[in-house]
């Protein structure tokens, strides 16, 4: 639908423009807030405990750990997907470097990778997985945690026969 500006005074057009700009800026600011109120689960690997936020929806997956400027060392984010597929992650809008673990249904770490902040490089699972755990960069290597080691806690404890 086309409209004519002849029914609007210039100041009204400016006010409408500024109002639209204000809404856009507020929307961008809101979109750049890190998600920190997700449900949490306690995980462990060996003697190390992890306080993991759990991302289960497509929206939560898409935002992940974006826009955070820091994260406590014992915290991470567990991404839970409906079915096992090759999972690939990137670091767009993620301000802190992260380590990523691709995790089998029984909690076994399939493969690990290090991801640099604000990059678009794909980091993918070596086989289909339903779970991905992100921690601060170097977390797994500093603790000597390697593929083949198992995570404990929900949802992995329920996968036991």
Checking if the pLDDT of 81 tops 60, the result is: yes
Q: Which of 88, 77, 76 is nearest to 129 (CA)?
A: 88
* Average of per-residue pLDDT across 135-153: 98
The band of 7, judged by pLDDT with boundaries at 50, 70 and 90, is very low
Helix, coil or strand: residue 82: strand
Domains in the chain with CATH codes: 40-159 (2.60.120.1140)
b/e for 66-79, b at 16 or more Cβ within 10 A? bebeebeeebbbbb
| 10-25 per-position pLDDT tens digit | 455 544 444 444 444 4
Higher pLDDT, 143 or 161: 143
| 100-124 per-position pLDDT tens digit | 999 999 999 999 999 999 999 999 9
The CA-based dihedral angle spanning residues 128, 135, 98, 30, taken in that order and rounded to the nearest 10 degrees: 100
Asked if 19 and 27 count as a contact pair (C-beta separation under 8 A), the reply is: no
Checking if the pLDDT of 98 tops 60, the result is: yes
What is the reported pLDDT for 4?
Answer: 37
Its pTM stands at 0.79
What is the reported pLDDT for 158?
Answer: 67
Cα(130)–Cα(102) distance, integer angstroms: 8
Consecutive H or E run containing 130: strand 129-136
| 27-77 per-position pLDDT tens digit | 444 457 888 899 999 999 999 999 999 999 999 999 999 999 999 999 999
Cα(104)–Cα(106) distance, integer angstroms: 5
What is the reported pLDDT for 147?
Answer: 98
* Average of per-residue pLDDT across 70-97: 97
């Amino acid at each position: 639908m086309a409209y004519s500006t002849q029914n609007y005074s210039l100041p009204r057009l400016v006010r409408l423009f500024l109002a639209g700009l204000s809404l856009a800026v507020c929307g961008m600011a809101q979109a750049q807030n890190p998600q920190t109120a997700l449900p949490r689960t306690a995980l462990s690997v060996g003697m190390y405990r992890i306080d993991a936020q759990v991302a289960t929806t497509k929206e939560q997956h898409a935002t992940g750990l974006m826009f955070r400027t820091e994260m406590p060392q014992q915290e991470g984010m567990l991404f839970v997907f409906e079915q096992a597929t090759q999972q690939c992650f990137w670091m767009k809008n993620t301000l802190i470097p992260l380590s990523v673990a691709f995790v089998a249904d029984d909690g076994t770490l399939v493969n690990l990778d290090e991801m640099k902040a604000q990059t678009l490089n794909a980091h993918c699972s070596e086989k289909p997985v339903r779970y991905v755990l992100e921690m601060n960069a170097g977390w797994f290597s500093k603790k000597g945690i390697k593929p083949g080691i198992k995570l404990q806690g929900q949802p992995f404890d329920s996968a036991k026969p």
